[in-house]
Amino acid sequence: MSNATETGAAAPPLLSLRNINMTFGGVRALKNVSFEVMPGEVHCLAGENGCGKSTLIKVITGVYKPAAGAEIAFDGETVPHMTPGIAQSLGIKVIWQDLALFPEMTVAENIAFQTLSGARPRFVSYPKIRRIAEEALARLGVKLDVDRPLKDFAIAQRQIVAIARALVGEARIVFMDEPTASLTQAETDHLLSIVHTLSASGVAVVFVSHRLAEVLEISSRLTVLRDGNLVGVYPVAGMTQSRVTELMTGRTFDQNVRARDVSKNPVVLSVKGLSRPGEFSDISFELRRGETLGVTGLLGSGRTELALTLFGMRQAASGTVTLEGVPAYFSSNREAIAAGIAYLSEDRLALGLNQPQSIADNLVQASLDSILSGGLISSEKKRSLVARWIADLGVKIGKQEDAICTLSGGNQQRVAIAKWLATNPKVLILDAPTVGVDVGARAGIFEIVARLAEAGLAIILISDEVPEVYFNADRVIHMEKGRIAGWHDPRSTTLKDMEAAVYA
């Protein structure tokens, strides 16, 4: 183990694990891992996808039983046989990335769900349910209409509902698995303030996130896992993102500005005065062959709405779009795809991929015409097409027939990119392509983006994380309240200045 640094706090650990080993099918997922959390501490559990973070959390919550010799203690008392029921009774709560909420139920019903369930049928007291929900939200300093269905709320509000539900039943420690993966910067800032509120009230929070900037902002200590091994426990004070990345991956990554001068390249896409009331107004830009054009901005800036309009999912009220000099009016995404526009959704789980389906079926979804033979899908053509893109993008898979959900987030995203590259697009729109992807996989995705641009593909890269567009785009559009607020050239400005402009 590397130089692990212990906390100087006098209080004993709230949660302590020693000698945790887990094996699945002959593969050791956790190897002699030790882990502890102090009362009221915000602790980060870091590592790449597949390093053992989720497995460790499932051991802590009693879902998995570790190998003989493991020791688990809570509040100084040994827990010989941890089970989900015991974990719940101790106040150990987990908020998984998919939230596990019920969209059709009200906010109150979602928050008070555990009080509704039980071994016996009984009358439901809606005033009591409403009171439980409002009290839990009040602890977070949040007000929501608890009588509205959850489906009416955005992902940021659903995340808060999940946290409020965890507080019902006196939570002592809350594990948050990628809580900001689908949030904008403004929503993330609000969530982090809630984490501070929990910590101040004595609730310990274990934060799992691929966004290293927020990890360093919110946590006091950092536990790093790599390939199931404990790398070390470190104080966050003085830690840098590059150092955390090195600890997580065992590698160093060069973070240099990739911007190039593409002003002499031919224009592929021209947008002039594009407007859609309530979403964006008077948007004009040119996208050139081999260019990566970054688009960034805060919540409500109109980035995704613009992308969906270019992709034919929505129609503009005014303005023009030309593709390679030809006027482009798309009444559907099918027309956009046929013309050479591809769009990678920011919501990979719900819109980008069909999780139960196979890797192969997901990859060919948008290019079925290319694998037909006599009007039917050719198994040979399909297998060949999939093999080509799997190899070209370096996707790590077992078999083509495996479900896409068996892959890591980074490999799923590569399949999603491959799905659109298989359509042979002229313009590729990437909307938040690294959501839910760890730092090592992020670097790999941006290497793919750079390679595609070098090969001549015109790319629009959308992200609310300013460093992503700063380091990986040739030019950057800053959108604010549906309008272009500014242009930035990474070669002639600093990251600090660009972030100041966007977050002002």
Q: Do the domain assignments include residue 373? A: yes
Q: Are residues 285 and 226 in the same domain?
A: no
Q: What is the DSSP string of 111-147?
A: HTHHHH--SS-----HHHHHHHHHHHHHHTT----TT
Q: Is the same domain home to 360 and 472?
A: yes
Where b means 16+ CB within 10 Å and e means fewer, 332-345 reads: ebeebbebbbbbbb
* 58 in the same domain as 28: yes
- 294-330 pLDDT, tens digit each: 999 977 789 999 999 999 999 999 999 999 999 999 9
Does residue 107 sit within a domain? no
Regarding whether 334 and 279 lie in a shared domain, the answer is yes
Asked if the structure places residue 480 within a domain, the reply is: yes
Residue 23 lies in a domain: yes
Would you call 331 exposed, middle or buried from its count of C-beta atoms within 10 A (0-12, 13-18, 19+)?
A: exposed
Query: What CATH number is associated with residue 236?
Result: 3.40.50.300
User: Average pLDDT of the chain?
Assistant: 89
Same domain, 289 and 368: yes
Q: Please report the pLDDT score of residue 25 as a whole number.
A: 76
In this structure, the answer to whether residues 410 and 363 fall within a common structural domain is yes
pLDDT tier for residue 47 given thresholds of 50, 70 and 90: confident
Q: Give domain status of residue 349, yes or no.
A: yes
Per-residue pLDDT band at 350 (split at 50, 70, 90): low
For residue 405, give Cα distances in angstroms to 48, 197, 438.
17, 35, 16
Burial of 11 (0-12, 13-18, 19+ CB in 10 A): exposed
Percent of the chain with pLDDT over 70: 94
Look at residues 193, 223, 252 and tell me which one is the last residue of a structural domain: 252
Is 119 domain-assigned? no
Quick one: angle between helices 409-421 and 439-454, nearest 10? Answer: 20
pLDDT band at 437 (very low <50, low <70, confident <90, very high): confident
Statement to judge: residues 53 and 8 lie in one domain: yes
How many domains, the chain? 2
| 216: containing domain | 1-91+170-179+206-252
Asked if 40 contacts 217 with a C-beta cutoff of 8 angstroms, the reply is no
* Per-residue CA distances from 293 to 33, 204, 326 (Å): 44, 41, 21
Portion of the chain with pLDDT greater than 90, in percent: 59
Based on the fold, state whether residues 301 and 426 are members of the same structural domain: yes
Same domain, 369 and 454: yes
Summarize pLDDT for 82-107 with one digit per residue, the tens: 999 999 999 999 988 777 888 999 99
Alpha carbon 386 to chain centroid, angstroms: 25
Higher per-residue pLDDT: 247 or 503: 247
What average pLDDT score do residues 238-257 get?
84
